[in-house]
Structure 1
Amino acid sequence: MKSFTENYMKAFVSEKVNLGRLSCVTAATAMLLMAGVARGAEKPKVVEIPVRAIDAKEAAKVSYTRDIKPILDASCSECHSSDEQKGQFDASTVASLIKGGKKAHPAIIPGKPDESAMVQYLRGQKEPQMPKGNSKLSADELHLIREWIAAGAVDDTGQAGLASKSPAASSKKANTAASLNVGDPAMQKALNVLMFSDDNKARLIAQRAVRTAYLPKVPVPPKTSGPTLNVIDQFIVGKWEQAGLKEARNAPEVCSDTTFLRRIYLDLIGVIPTVEEAQRFLNDKSKDKRVKLVDELLARKEDYAAHWVPFWEDALGSANVDKQGGIPTHGNYRNWIYQSFVENKPYDVMVAELIDPLMPGYQKPFISEANGKRTVAAYIQNETHTLTIQSAANVGQVFLGTGMKCASCHNHFLNKEWPQARFLAFGGMFATNDLESIRCEKHSGQFVTAKFPFELPDVPEEMPKEYEPRLHRVTQLLVDPTNPRFARTMVNRLWKRYVGIGLFAPADDYRLDQPPSHPELLDYLADDFIRSGYDLKHTIRLILTSRTYQLKYDPALEDHFDVAKPTEARYFRSPSLRKLTAEELIDSIRLATAQKLDPKKRLYLNNASTALTRALAKPASRNEISTSRSEDVAVVQALELLNGEEFYQAIYSGPVLDEAAREKEVSKAVDRLYWAALNRTASSKERQVTEKLLGANAVGVGPAKTESSEQVWIDDELPRGARMDGTGGAKNAWKWVTKEQGPVFSGERSHTQGGKGEQRQHIAIGANPGLRVGATDVLFTYVYLDPKNPPKEIMLQWSQGGWEHRAYWGEDLIAFGTANSTTRHAMGALPKAGEWVRLEVPAQDVGISPAEEVDGWAFDQDGGKVYWDKAGVVKRAMNPNREPLGDVLWALFTSPEFQFIR
């Protein structure tokens, strides 16, 4: 063994073994071997597990099926199962336990727990202590095993309805059922809908009403002496008092109105307020103005919905295409997410529409072909075993806040709540049949019966055999009010979104061995969320109107999650600092520089990935499921904010600089910039420093003459390096027209469409160098519509490494891009036929990025005859008075006050 280890070690050192290509088990084994050599293969220390006296009456209540087997499955099955029997020992049945293995037979002696070899191995009285290489059993788990053996090691396999005492099974424990009062008119109505409605959405909502009766009593908020605004504060202050913190006697201050204003705007609609909105709120003297502002912003349903879209696109893996490189995506859910939040759709209904094919609003898979093979873009993918378990893991992560993926090919290394069999049983609910147990790519030929991982009261145990009913059943159980993780996961996400760190953390790793910081508050919020009808706005309002949310940021009191200390207490005496997302940052800059933000130009609608958006952690594509963006501030981000062309254009081309430059006094110009960026006036010190900076550069403010220039890109010839393409191919798509052949506006010829079909296009692509377009520049071209044969629609498209920028006139028939976004921007009616008309499109309207060159221009039409001529860009000259003011604005936008939610 030693020589094998040493050779393996040498292979690693000489880089002959690539860890990245090894399976996780092999890599883990290799690293353990390396660690063993480094320590001289020292003998592992015995972990002492305290034991206590056994009560015969309590021992008689312990069940093998409900209490003991989950512990053994979680801790022992990896090495001692029916298909993996190290030491010839199988721990999967009572009979095999009694039989024992090579070193100890029997492993258990009924009635004599401390004489049983299994107990001795678990306690470390015999070597090696079990489970070998994994965390040892808790005192409670060992006590249960000893109790069961003392009571005779009764095998109750197959018996139903057994009450559980096991910590490992506590997450599956059924809630105490309340008796249903059918005499209640509301309950009777819900039962009638369940029995007679054909609408599955109505049935789901009625089922929710009936199942809510099973919920246990909600935790009672503690009585406290500290300042509180609602029930949330009672739980928070109650813990301060319980822990004897000084804040219980001297409560932290709430934040200023200015801080609250920016915080609430960014949290609810994802952008800062305009100057007018900020001044209106700050000048309001009413005591309840904060609550009124929360309600006002929640009522801006389109802005509220737009702010939620990026989070859910990341969480669902939503893509703007149905396949990438021939591989199907999870589907495109952008419009559905947006509309769901505009409607404030109940959260359980929203989740059901993703998974349940029997729901009227079900998001159907998109079926297409790639390389002659059928592809299915869908949220639930089950074309293969791997895709099925990935879908189940994604559902578990996003909607149950539970990391199951590590249990897909072996028992979870870090969370023994998830043996592989339990996860595969859950995965089978998303498949057309039960899943095979495949351990580390080794097929067993054994199939795991599909089963929901949590025991819910009074639900059918049998799983439907057909695929659609099976998805319907897993959806019912997933969103059921008695599911111990569904509602809790969502309210925890809301808490993390608005306070900065979850009641349990990480938010995707809800587990039994790491309790929430405030379990009673989590239970209360989940119960309240369910009883509100899974109304997200209801719970959001409750959080945002609490004093806890409104506390002043204090780095000395800020909570943090340390993976090395997962159970370290959190008290929420200060919110946690939160970095703005790419969407929040860029949209807020656009709003600040223009004092308005067109909803059609919000960043989430732009599918283009730029150096700036990538540096700000906006994913270039959503191949991985994610419920949070990186909070790290990387060097590449700092470089983009310092030197990036796109960031420069966004700041220095905005109209706010023109307005500031027209001020006659420097102090007023400075104040205008502070109000636009930070929603407050500059302090006397800030004004002094800024005026000194402007004075040092000898910059005066006031009007200055600006000029624009026109740069023609396409006229009688294509741009350098560009090639023709389009409908009918390069030879047929593009047709040049001389003055003798048709209308010409500029030069010697125009161009028209040559290919056949109703919807046609001709393209110039591959220009090198490309066309550089600034943020305030305007794209233009000239068009002539044949009055005898006009089209129904015309469209222009621009490529910046991909065709994601479009504007159209007339009917919305050419279905490229996403409606009402920069990828398909409506410009109005068709231009007048029978004459040359100049079309102009502001670059910002179609999401053209100043950071990248335009390398292609496409001319599209639906029907008719269309002629095109001179095309290019109108470039706006920069006002020299604006540049130093732009430097001030840049400093404000890169300051921590702007970059973070405080």
Structure 2
Amino acid sequence: MIRRFVGALALGGLSIMALAAQKPQKAVSYQRDVLPILKKNCSSCHSNGAKQGDFSLDSREAILTGGKTHPVARPGKGAQSYLIELVTTGAMPPQGTHLKASEVEVLRRWIDSGLPFDGAAESEDAAWTPPLALVDVAVPEGTGNAIDRLLGLYFTEKRVAVGAPVSDRAFVRRAYLDLIGLLPSPAQLNAFVWDTRTDKRERLVASLLADTKNYTEHWLTFWNDALRNDYVGTGYIDGGRSQITGWLYSALESNKPYDQFVRELIAPPSAESEGFIKGIVWRGVVNASQRPPLQAAQNIGQVFLGVNLKCASCHDSFTSNWKLRDAYGLAAIFADTPLELVRCDKPTGAMASATFLWPELGVVDGSAPLATRRTQVAAALTSRANGRFARAIVNRLWTKLMGRGLIEPNDELDNKPWNPALLDWLALDFVNHGYDLKHTLAQIATSRAYQLPSQGLAKERPAGYVFTGPAVKRLSAEQLTDAISTLTESWPTPVETLRINKGAVSVPKRTGKLLFDSGLMRKGDKAVDIALRGEEVLALVATDGNGNSNHDWANWIEPRFVFESGREISLRELAPLSTTTGFGTVQTDKSVVGKPLRLGEKTYTRGIGTHANSVILYPIPRGATHFRALVGPDQGAVDEAPAEVSVRFAVVEASRALTQGRAALTTADAFTRALGRPNREQTVTQRQTVATTLQALELTNGPLLATRLKQGVRAWQAHGAHGEDILTGLYQTALSRPPSEAERTTVRQTLGGKWTPENLEDLLWALLMSPEFQLY
């Protein structure tokens, strides 16, 4: 599918992919680009006082002086520098992995540019030692949000001229996407724009955070990434990893205090939340540094403290002050047996002592049972005295709303914040308000700082980052998927539409009314005759009663909707909204294995054959008053099954929201994976936002998007809208504004005045690809 609108339709400029391709190469930064390479490969021999060959990397002057033989770098002449020769030929480092070609290129460009050392800024940041306890920051006097009063001092110091807040339309779109992950509808947008109250922005933020369902289903993505929670079994090995979806949904829905939230993950009070801490065994023992106790230390340090213990799990870290004994001390808390320190896969003979990273926060009894040790470390971790715990989460929340953290990267809280006072004030305010995540989100979202125009990070100053407003953010895979669902009125079916467990049907409060439950059936049939109550969707559910038979064939015989007049419509004549099946696929007029439909001694010619577990969703025709059918396990399965057949049938009636699954609640597909949704085989706290070739291919030729575009055009036309009405509606829904006259003219000219389904598909696709749609 090649879209004619690329370069032709003025919908906000170049495509996302084109912007990525044209992005100029950044100047090499010593702090950002060079120092990590040197620390990883060279520091053990040439830094922190070590001077093998009389060569030190501790200063620019030392690098220019060189070692015993001759200088190693010639400013402006990277290709002719001895350092490049050494790392290119593999002579250095003498042991371990040689530098990648990309790393050599960074060093060469650094030398070509004159070896800039980020001098004073580097020295100041290197000397930064983050305090453990939170600092009680005095907020300047005045009115308004404390964040803005603190930033007032910062802006003065940095000589930043603060601009005017964004327009109402831009603010509404930003707040909706950030807080609940959805586009505002035109009606919601207009209601806000026409509101004349001076506190309407604060009211909007409060109402969005009070939208419990959408808030929960948006922030599930954030926590699924961080906690490696997924909906399918792939990667759940060693018998340790299990879903925590139900617990996590409930915790977000109830806005569980964050300290309690974390304690229940680390020291689970029940099986509901144990999937995180038990999931540490998932990766298996690749080497000594990946043993389950060390994975526990790494995950807990990264997610809850912004501490990177991966290097320190193998040797004393070259990139931070964390030592091997620190990582092993935390790991020993989660070990079933005594833990020997292993340095670079070589046993040292020394044994680890169970110790929290900051022993002053609480003693862990290494001889106590595992459950007790977990409780003790959870208490130390969430202690009010542990400022790192609160700093880590408020920094992540700031990053989600502002596009860039107070500390970057989020998992390296040993780095200096660009505003330490603001970070500590946010963290202490968070603690003082009962570790309330929504409170901190409201503090940030109601600040004037959040309402400033978005800034491109490419404008970062040579001397370091200076905050001038939120960074431009790109829609995440889930936000983009939900936005496409909104525009096309086609939503995927959520994973947990109906929770189908062994021998039981559990209907969450978000789904609907359980109208029929057959109980466990091993043979025979039961009649279904239920009155409908005016909902929009009917779900036919078959669950597996014993969970171990391939022969749980479920038959729905002559399923039909009945009207007051006596007229009937067979479900065989209707297209299902969605189907989720067990083994095989849904069959019409035959069993799931293609044999005649049989219940007991009778054979039927009209019906639906499926397999437990399955859910089939149908739209309820307007005016239908009853649903009738005959259900039971297929007799063919009863006759040939080596084990006893058991099936349980249920019928659930609900609103169409039953079929509207937010992307966070669906399993990953090719589209969301291409757009950056991780496979959750690793902890992910910040996703990459740079456009990739795979994304370009998926957005231009992907079959999933092509199908959704066709569905969207049909949905808009079904409303009776045509031409200019669809154009206006699409713009208002996608971009929160009507099209300009210039855009209308461009569309008419490009379409040749023909509003065909194919042309409308192209128009919809062009809107989806525009930077104005994907960036905010």
Q: How does 1:415-454 map to 2 (within 5 A)?
A: 415=320, 417-454=321-358
Shift of 1:604: 2.2
Compare CA radii of gyration and give the structure with the larger one.
1
1:522 corresponds to which residue?
423
Q: 2:738 is matched with which residue: 675, 681, 702?
A: 681
Sequence identity of aligned pairs in percent? Answer: 33
2:392 aligned with 1:489: yes
- SS at 2:340's partner residue? strand
Shift of 1:360: 5.8
2:761 aligned with 1:886: yes
Q: 1:238 is matched with which residue: 143, 148, 153?
A: 153
CA distance in 2, matches of 1:338, 1:141: 39
Q: How does 1:13-92 map to 2 (within 5 A)?
A: 43-45=54-56, 47=58
CA distance in 1, matches of 2:232, 2:58: 53
Q: How does 1:82-121 map to 2 (within 5 A)?
A: none
Q: 1:587 to 1:634 in 2, by over 3 A?
A: same
Say whether the 8 Å CA contact 2:181–2:218 is kept in structure 1.
yes
2:663 aligned with 1:603: yes
Shift of 1:231: 0.5
Matched to 2:145, the amino acid is: N
2:201 aligned with 1:296: no
Say whether the 8 Å CA contact 1:353–1:362 is kept in structure 2.
no
Say whether the 8 Å CA contact 2:240–2:282 is kept in structure 1.
no
Shift of 1:329: 5.6
CA distance in 2, matches of 1:335, 1:531: 28
- SS at 2:333's partner residue? helix
Say whether the 8 Å CA contact 2:407–2:413 is kept in structure 1.
yes
Q: 1:676 to 1:328 in 2, by over 3 A?
A: same
CA distance in 2, matches of 1:556, 1:630: 14
Say whether the 8 Å CA contact 2:125–2:416 is kept in structure 1.
no
* Deviations 1:208-267, CA, capped at 9 Å, x for gaps: xxxxxxx66x2012358xxx740101122211112233x1xxx21211111111111111
2:573 aligned with 1:573: no
1:278 corresponds to which residue?
189
CA distance in 2, matches of 1:307, 1:507: 20
Shift of 1:412: 0.4
* Deviations 1:724-771, CA, capped at 9 Å, x for gaps: xxxxxxxxxxxxxxxxxxxxxxxxxxxxxxxxxxxxxxxxxxxxxxxx
- SS at 1:443's partner residue? strand
1:395 corresponds to which residue?
300
Shift of 1:532: 0.6
Structure 2 length normalisation: TM-score? 0.60
Say whether the 8 Å CA contact 1:393–1:403 is kept in structure 2.
yes
- SS at 2:349's partner residue? strand
Say whether the 8 Å CA contact 1:617–1:630 is kept in structure 2.
yes
Shift of 1:591: 1.0
* Deviations 1:80-119, CA, capped at 9 Å, x for gaps: xxxxxxxxxxxxxxxxxxxxxxxxxxxxxxxxxxxxxxxx
2:435 aligned with 1:534: yes
CA distance in 2, matches of 1:894, 1:43: 56
Say whether the 8 Å CA contact 1:557–1:573 is kept in structure 2.
no
Shift of 1:669: 3.2
2:682 corresponds to which residue?
624
* Deviations 1:665-708, CA, capped at 9 Å, x for gaps: x43332122112212111121112112222x2x415xxxxxxxx
Say whether the 8 Å CA contact 2:455–2:472 is kept in structure 1.
no
* Deviations 1:45-72, CA, capped at 9 Å, x for gaps: 485899xxxxxxxxxxxxxxxxxxxxxx
Q: How does 1:702-781 map to 2 (within 5 A)?
A: none
Say whether the 8 Å CA contact 1:344–1:537 is kept in structure 2.
yes
Say whether the 8 Å CA contact 1:553–1:577 is kept in structure 2.
yes
Say whether the 8 Å CA contact 1:172–1:454 is kept in structure 2.
no
Q: How does 1:157-306 map to 2 (within 5 A)?
A: 175=133, 218-223=136-141, 229-245=144-160, 247=161, 251-306=162-217
CA distance in 2, matches of 1:641, 1:442: 48
- SS at 2:387's partner residue? coil
2:752 aligned with 1:692: no
- Unaligned runs of at least 5 residues, structure 2: 1-35, 47-51, 62-121, 492-655
Q: 1:435 to 1:277 in 2, by over 3 A?
A: same
Matched to 1:388, the amino acid is: P
* Deviations 1:602-643, CA, capped at 9 Å, x for gaps: 122222422x22210112x32111112221100111121112
Q: 1:558 to 1:464 in 2, by over 3 A?
A: farther
Say whether the 8 Å CA contact 2:236–2:242 is kept in structure 1.
no
CA distance in 1, matches of 2:428, 2:200: 28
1:156 corresponds to which residue?
none
Q: 2:479 is matched with which residue: 578, 581, 584?
A: 584
Shift of 1:328: 4.1
Q: 1:601 to 1:595 in 2, by over 3 A?
A: closer
Q: 1:442 to 1:891 in 2, by over 3 A?
A: same
* Deviations 1:811-860, CA, capped at 9 Å, x for gaps: xxxxxxxxxxxxxxxxxxxxxxxxxxxxxxxxxxxxxxxxxxxxxxxxxx
1:670 corresponds to which residue?
727
2:594 corresponds to which residue?
none
Range that drifts further, 428-437 or 481-490: 428-437
CA distance in 2, matches of 1:141, 1:608: 40
Shift of 1:274: 1.8
Matched to 1:486, the amino acid is: F
1:658 corresponds to which residue?
716
2:249 aligned with 1:342: no
Q: How does 1:474-485 map to 2 (within 5 A)?
A: 474-485=377-388
Shift of 1:470: 0.7
2:314 corresponds to which residue?
409
Q: How does 1:345-384 map to 2 (within 5 A)?
A: 345-357=256-268, 359=269, 363-364=273-274, 378-379=279-280
Shift of 1:448: 2.1
Q: 1:480 to 1:30 in 2, by over 3 A?
A: closer
Matched to 2:768, the amino acid is: F
Q: How does 1:121-136 map to 2 (within 5 A)?
A: none
Range that drifts further, 540-549 or 685-694: 685-694
CA distance in 2, matches of 1:253, 1:578: 19
Shift of 1:655: 5.6
Say whether the 8 Å CA contact 2:237–2:282 is kept in structure 1.
no
Q: 1:28 to 1:502 in 2, by over 3 A?
A: closer
Q: Taking CA–CA contacts closer than 8 Å with sequence separation of 6 or more, which of the two structures ends up with the larger relative contact order? A: 2
2:592 corresponds to which residue?
none
Say whether the 8 Å CA contact 1:412–1:419 is kept in structure 2.
yes
Q: 1:280 to 1:325 in 2, by over 3 A?
A: closer
- SS at 1:456's partner residue? helix
Matched to 2:754, the amino acid is: V
Structure 1 length normalisation: TM-score? 0.52
2:449 aligned with 1:548: yes
Shift of 1:139: 9.8
* Deviations 1:470-511, CA, capped at 9 Å, x for gaps: 111100001111113100000000000000000010001111
- SS at 2:348's partner residue? strand
Q: 1:382 to 1:318 in 2, by over 3 A?
A: closer
- SS at 1:493's partner residue? helix
- SS at 1:438's partner residue? strand
Q: 1:361 to 1:889 in 2, by over 3 A?
A: same
2:656 aligned with 1:615: no
CA distance in 2, matches of 1:221, 1:624: 39
